[in-house]
Amino acid sequence: MVLSGYKSDRGLLRENNEDSYFVNDKVGVYVVADGMGGYKGGEIASNIAVNTLGKILSNFLENSQEKNIQDIVHKALQEANDQIILVRISDIDLSNMATTVVLSIFFNNILYYSHLGDSRAYLYKKEGKLIQLTTDDSLVMEMVKRGMINEDELRTHNLRNIVTKYLGLTDLVLPEVLHCYVGIDDCIILCSDGLTSMLEEKEILSIVKRDISMGPQSICDTLVDKANNNGGYDNITVIVVQNK
């Protein structure tokens, strides 16, 4: 059994919300996408992503006895990418639209996850530890890997918003699909960078530890409120899933 909570907020400075999300507790499919490409384009791209991924993954898990997770995730990501490119080609006003994405499939205590861009997946262990499962596909992360900057500069660097992989690339390289064990009372957290750019991981951990007894929705609400209290510079989307 799982309990889930979710919240998406425009933030304090943006005119609209370009984030989208998908939740299907019945089969354990969860997706967060953070759109790029301007006022209209980002919202459309992220919507295409979550709707396409959510539908394909949910239909597969509901109807197939064989669970070849990597193949279906790759198929869904490729379809979402193709749909975004088709819309870009058909409308010059949307020619720059794209989206990051992080997705998870959870069943039988195993979490499968994949991502493109800087939307993230975390695992909170009931012992009080927060583990970042994904590594940002971003220019600043590449700079960290090359020793040009240190990890403390990631959240504040002036190039932090440049992502290197996303849905909407004509030469998309499909990402790895990884997996890990999720124990009873552990939590899965998916979020857009509107959360992680406003909160340090120690703040996220503190909120999860404090609110976990009140359930996933309380965690989501508090995380979003805290991100807004810290500035709310971007759209903020969080999904929290607790294994019960």
* Res. 143: pLDDT tops 70: yes
The model's pLDDT over 85-142, given as tens digits with 9 standing for 90+, comes to 999 999 988 989 999 999 999 999 999 999 999 999 999 999 999 999 999 998 777 7
Give yes or no for residue 211 having a pLDDT over 70: yes
Q: What's the pLDDT at 39?
A: 64
Q: In what order do the strands lie in the sheet with 129-132?
A: 2-9, 236-243, 187-191, 120-125, 129-132
Q: Is residue 201 over pLDDT 80?
A: yes
pLDDT in tens, 37-75: 776 799 999 999 999 999 999 999 998 777 799 999 999
Residue of 81, 71, 101, 69 lying closest to 190 (CA atoms): 101
Which residue range is the domain that position 236 belongs to? 2-243
Q: Strands, E, within the chain: which ranges?
A: 2-9, 19-24, 29-36, 98-107, 110-116, 120-125, 129-132, 178-181, 187-191, 236-243
Domain count of the fold of the chain: 1
CATH code of 64's domain: 3.60.40.10
